[in-house]
Amino acid sequence: MKIHNPQLCGPPILIECSSETTTPEVPVYVGDHEKGDAIPDVLWITIGVVIGFIVGFWGVCGTLLLKKTQRHAYFRYFDEMKERLFVFVIVKKAHIQRRLGSSYYYIAVSV
């Protein structure tokens, strides 16, 4: 259907385009290469991402390596999250078994 665009033609539209109308060439942006820049824009983005990753990685890991209190708090936090997730899964499993009417209420837990 070409209700809103009467000049639309070509696949998947059944109307063939005439050979007189050609599509205009779309200019391709190449960055600042044309201006004589030695390093293209993509390289600058890559350099920025790599530097950001290095700074972020060592910002976190360096803090954990150098400050004992931060390291203990960090690992204590993840230990608590592991325990909470474990309890949540066990409670949900028991709840689902109860809702399904299962006679198997005992949950075997191996730690």
Determine the Cα–Cα distance for residues 96 and 105; give it in Å rounded to an integer.
Answer: 10
Tell me the percentage of the chain whose pLDDT exceeds 70: 69
Residues 13-67 pLDDT 10s: 777 777 665 555 655 555 555 555 566 788 889 999 999 999 999 999 999 999 9
- DSSP-derived 3-state class of residue 5: coil
- DSSP-derived 3-state class of residue 68: helix
DSSP label of 36: T
Distances in Å between the Cα of 32 and the Cα atoms of 28, 38, 48, 96 are: 12, 9, 17, 61
Domain edges within the chain: 31-96
Determine the Cα–Cα distance for residues 64 and 74; give it in Å rounded to an integer.
Answer: 8
pTM: 0.42
Determine the Cα–Cα distance for residues 64 and 44; give it in Å rounded to an integer.
Answer: 30
Q: For position 93, what pLDDT does the model report?
A: 92
Backbone angles phi, psi at 69, to 5 degrees: -65, -40
